[in-house]
């Protein structure tokens, strides 16, 4: 099987792009490690999460965390991982004080993963005996049935804040409206474009678009995550510059 010149050029471009991304990632991760505080633009949703469990616990209430209606292993795995990062962050806040977010899921595999995240947070603090598997609840696999069940939890008097990170469909209206009617603190984020207008209508703290995939960088400040954000910004600049140069070249040389 012969390789055409076009195939060879595509392969060379792919290798070149891989090397460029690897080099940029190495450079920005190295730079992030030297920075005490990463230079990240402020996002109100992430600011709201800081100390959230403590503030809610002071009033004798709990935080409800929804990881969406999808599971792991499919197209929505990335957004599910973002939700798990939020669970890990909230668990690290609350475990020392004996509180954990009440987490609801719509997938049995995700339930096991969320339980493991919560258990590890207790184990790392030396409080494994205080771990409660019931803090993670599998409500229903059907999106509408899940929303109805999670809505009942949000409507409970002891819930003082509602955090929803994951993939949602039209069933989001049941969840978002439940928190809005109770006027409790809400933070929401989803990769579903059709849901984002409803998110903005029901919450003041919203993660839009790709912001949800920056969860790890904003919450942990790990150099690997921060460096990946810098790489994405650098690639955007390079792509825009390439488009502008291409248009100018076509305009000047093509005439």
CA 232 from chain center: how many Å? 16
pLDDT for res 119:
94
Q: Quick check: is 18 in a domain?
A: no
* Paired sense of beta strands 102-105 and 185-189, if any: unpaired
Q: Quick check: is 207 in a domain?
A: yes
Q: Quick check: is 226 in a domain?
A: no
Q: Quick check: is 4 in a domain?
A: no
pTM of the entire structure?
A: 0.80
Tens of pLDDT, residue by residue, the chain (255 residues): 455 656 666 777 777 777 777 777 777 667 767 766 666 777 888 888 888 888 888 888 999 999 999 888 777 888 898 899 999 999 988 888 888 899 999 999 999 999 999 999 999 888 888 999 999 999 999 999 999 999 999 998 889 999 999 889 888 999 999 999 998 999 998 888 888 889 998 988 998 877 888 887 778 767 776 777 777 777 778 888 888 888 888 788 765
183: phi > 0 → left, psi -120 to 50 → alpha, else beta; which? left
- Nearest CA to 218 out of 94, 32, 69, 57 is that of 32
Separation between Cα atoms, residue 235 and residue 196, nearest integer Å: 26
Q: Is 168 helix (H, G, I), strand (E, B) or coil?
A: coil
Q: Nearest 10 degrees: CA dihedral of 235, 236, 242, 246?
A: 150
Q: Quick check: is 23 in a domain?
A: no
What token pair was written down for 234?
Answer: 């650098």
- Nearest CA to 52 out of 185, 150, 153, 176 is that of 185
Separation between Cα atoms, residue 227 and residue 23, nearest integer Å: 11
Sort 231 into a burial class: Cβ within 10 Å, 0-12 / 13-18 / 19+: buried
Q: Quick check: is 33 in a domain?
A: no
- Nearest CA to 102 out of 52, 62, 45 is that of 62
pLDDT for res 253:
73
The range of the structural domain enclosing residue 209 comes to: 44-220
Q: What is the CATH number of the domain that holds 105?
A: 3.40.50
pLDDT for res 255:
53
pLDDT for res 8:
66
pLDDT for res 84:
92
Alpha-helix residue ranges (DSSP H) falling in the chain? 5-34, 44-49, 52-58, 77-94, 108-124, 143-154, 172-182, 196-202, 215-220, 223-253
Q: Quick check: is 155 in a domain?
A: yes
Q: Quick check: is 121 in a domain?
A: yes
pLDDT for res 102:
94
Q: Is 66 helix (H, G, I), strand (E, B) or coil?
A: strand
pLDDT for res 31:
73
pLDDT for res 38:
63
Tell me how many domains the chain contains: 1
Q: What are 65's strand-pairing partners?
A: 103, 163
């Amino acid at each position: 099987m012969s390789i055409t010149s076009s195939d060879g050029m595509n392969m060379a471009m792919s290798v070149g792009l891989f090397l460029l991304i690897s080099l940029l990632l190495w450079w920005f991760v190295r730079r992030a490690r030297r920075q005490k505080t990463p230079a990240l633009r402020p996002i109100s949703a992430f600011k709201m999460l800081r100390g959230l469990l403590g503030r809610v616990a002071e009033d004798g209430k709990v935080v409800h965390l929804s990881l969406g209606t999808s599971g792991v292993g499919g197209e929505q795995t990335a957004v599910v991982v973002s939700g798990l990062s939020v669970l890990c962050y909230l668990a690290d806040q609350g475990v020392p004080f004996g509180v954990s977010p009440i987490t609801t899921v719509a997938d049995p595999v995700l339930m096991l993963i969320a339980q493991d995240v919560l258990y590890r947070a207790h184990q790392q603090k030396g409080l494994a005996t205080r771990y409660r598997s019931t803090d993670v609840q599998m409500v229903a696999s059907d999106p509408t049935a899940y929303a109805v069940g999670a809505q009942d939890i949000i409507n409970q008097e002891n819930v003082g804040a509602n955090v929803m990170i994951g993939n949602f469909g039209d069933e989001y209206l049941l969840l978002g409206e439940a928190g809005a009617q109770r006027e409790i603190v809400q933070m929401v984020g989803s990769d579903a474009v059709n849901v984002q207008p409803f998110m903005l209508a029901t919450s003041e703290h919203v993660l839009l678009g790709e912001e949800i995939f920056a969860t790890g960088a904003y919450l942990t400040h790990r150099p690997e995550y921060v460096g990946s954000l810098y790489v994405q910004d650098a690639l955007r600049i390079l792509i825009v510059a390439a488009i502008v140069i291409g248009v100018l070249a076509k305009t000047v040389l093509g005439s």
